[in-house]
Amino acid sequence: MTEQTQIESEVQTDSRQESSSPAPRGGLSRLAGMSVVASVALPMLAAYIIFYTGVGMPTDTVNQGELLTPAQDLAEINLLADDGNAVDLAAQEPKWRYLIVAGENCAGECEKLLYTTRQVHIRLGEKSLRVERLLVTGAPLTELRHSILADQHPKLRFTTTDQKKLDEWLADSDHAELKRPSALLVDQQGYAMMVYDNTHNGNQLLKDIKRLLKYSYEK
């Protein structure tokens, strides 16, 4: 075999080896990355669908409050502030909120629920900034009543709404006949998703909100 023939043979051999070598790892890396994203995103999407539609909701859950199924968009009811202006929570800083739905004067049982939610709020410590409480009555409180509650609950926001429309808002949920008083826990997207009343104690409320704060984003 001549020297030129030997060189040509070696070149052909090298070419065959290159053509049979493994494909670049870039494609495999992208595929692996997509698999990781899917493994995270799909369970989150499934959880979102279950939570906000109630479809597939397990009957045995770890929450202490009663799940509101399906979750209700708070933007669908008209909350008014003390000055009569609409309360647009969607335009405000995302927070977890207790919507304390009361009778006309918020006395007796309502005061008890206000106290429970206030103590829970205090016990959250530095995390309390991510939580807010709103009292919802059918009509504005008297000046005296407002003053008394404001002194006892300095961080409480006072709002009103049409109670009949509030009941209509809940009509397609499993809490269509909401007892007064009750506290609706509203998530950072503005969906009422859990219900508490005076049969629940502060430790139960605290356990739920701590877990929700732990697994939700903080702005």
Kindly report the CATH number assigned to the domain that includes residue 108.
3.40.30.10
Query: Are 13 and 87 members of one domain?
Result: no
56 belongs to a structural domain:
no
pTM of the model as a whole: 0.74
Query: Are 144 and 166 members of one domain?
Result: yes
Q: What is the mean pLDDT of residues 123-151?
A: 97
Residue bearing the bigger pLDDT, 65 or 16: 65
Q: What is the mean pLDDT of residues 77-85?
A: 94
Sorting pLDDT into bands at 50, 70 and 90, what band is 129?
very high
- Bridge partners of 196, per DSSP, are 183
Query: Are 10 and 86 members of one domain?
Result: no
Query: Are 68 and 39 members of one domain?
Result: no
Query: Are 85 and 113 members of one domain?
Result: yes
Sorting pLDDT into bands at 50, 70 and 90, what band is 52?
very low
Query: Are 156 and 105 members of one domain?
Result: yes
Residue 173 pLDDT exceeds 80: yes
pLDDT given at position 103: 84
Q: How many CA atoms within 13 Å lie on the side-chain side of 74?
A: 29
Burial (CB count within 10 angstroms: exposed 0-12, middle 13-18, buried 19+), residue 218? exposed
Residue 30 pLDDT exceeds 90: no
Q: What is the mean pLDDT of residues 83-100?
A: 95
Range of the domain at 112: 64-214
Q: What is the mean pLDDT of residues 135-161?
A: 97
- Quote the number of domains for the chain: 2
pLDDT given at position 7: 44
Contact 160, 139 (CB under 8 A): yes
Sorting pLDDT into bands at 50, 70 and 90, what band is 18?
very low
Residue with tokens 């859950």: 61
Query: Are 135 and 198 members of one domain?
Result: yes
Mean pLDDT of the chain: 84
